[in-house]
Amino acid sequence: MNLHPSVLPAFKGQDGFGDALDYGAKYTGSTIHFIDEKMDEGKIIIQTVCPVDPNADVTVTRHRIFQQQCKSLLQVIKWIEEKRISISGQHVFVRNASYLDFEFSPSLDYDVARQLQIPFPKT
């Protein structure tokens, strides 16, 4: 698996987060996908979105994306452990998943992932 700091297939490559901000995207986010032979083109397991506040320090937005990635990774590991993930063609399906959350798709259903808090680093 790969944790990518943008909503794929947009902003592939080494600096997906920076590229999204440089482009002026109104939303950014993250993607966890299976790795395949092409960079950032594997089958998507989970994605997150986060509005870009042009008045906020970029480190605040980056930290929010990092939190989303951590929560998503915990969730995906739980789905794998529970054997809930299947693949059909280009699509990844999560058995009994819901899609009611506007931040995570599929929605988080693992309490440990939902409740994870990662404090902003002190400088």
Which residues are tagged catalytic? 4
Rg over alpha carbons for the chain, rounded to the nearest Å, is 14
| 27, β-bridge pairs | 51
Exposed/middle/buried for residue 91 (C-beta within 10 Å: 0-12, 13-18, 19+): exposed
Inter-residue contact 7 to 31 (CB < 8 Å): yes
Angle, vertex CA 111, rays to CA 57 and CA 123, nearest 5:
25
- Write out the E strands in the chain: 2-4, 27-33, 44-51, 85-88, 91-94, 104-105
